[in-house]
Amino acid sequence: MKNNFDELINKYLDNEIDSDELNTVNDLLKNNTEFKTKFITQKYIHENLNEIPLHSAPTNITELVMGKIISKLSIKTQKNYFFKGILAILLVFLFITLYFFFSLLGDLKIVQQTVSYIDYSKNYFQPIVTFFSKIIQNDIFRTLSGLLGLIILLSFYFSLNSFKDFKNRIRQF
């Protein structure tokens, strides 16, 4: 009975009571002292709990948090500059190498030597190249690799969107 009282009172407070139960509540309020005591006390609690006092956060919390966020951001920016700098140095090296390569191309002897090396390599690797070209020409292989390529591209797109979003999409799929 005690649990029944509790259930009825909680249903009443949560606005989940039906008309039969409401009648029961009204009857019990008139005829049952224990129920009445519980009901009045619980109703009082329900009506007063929205006045629970808040604990005041430290006054400087906003400055502290914003300071941490902004200092993290400036470290990130510094990191970006670091990687950009390395990229720029690598690009300079690449251009210098290309410049020397093309300037040496003018020397015919080097070109002739290079061509003969290419011919030698072609003969040496001919059976392997033939084997792989047969596989590549196979329709099933091409379809499968096409599909695989498409899946990889889609995965890349989704993972760029966001990792969480990507996970959700895979789950839905």
Q: Contact residues for other proteins (CB under 8 A)?
A: 6, 10, 13-14, 36-38, 40-42, 44-46, 48-58, 61-62, 64-66, 68-70, 73, 162, 164
Q: How far is the CB of 114 from other proteins (least distance, A)?
A: 51
Nearer to other proteins, 112 or 162 (CB): 162
Sign (positive or negative) of CA dihedral 45, 48, 50, 55? negative
Nearer to other proteins, 73 or 87 (CB): 73
Alpha carbons 41 and 126: distance in angstroms, whole number: 93
Nearer to other proteins, 70 or 75 (CB): 70
Alpha carbons 166 and 170: distance in angstroms, whole number: 6
Whether the Cβ atoms of residue 12 and residue 45 lie closer than 8 Å to each other: no
Nearer to other proteins, 55 or 109 (CB): 55
Terminal CA-to-CA distance of the chain, rounded, Å?
50
Residue 166 tokens, joined:
């990507």
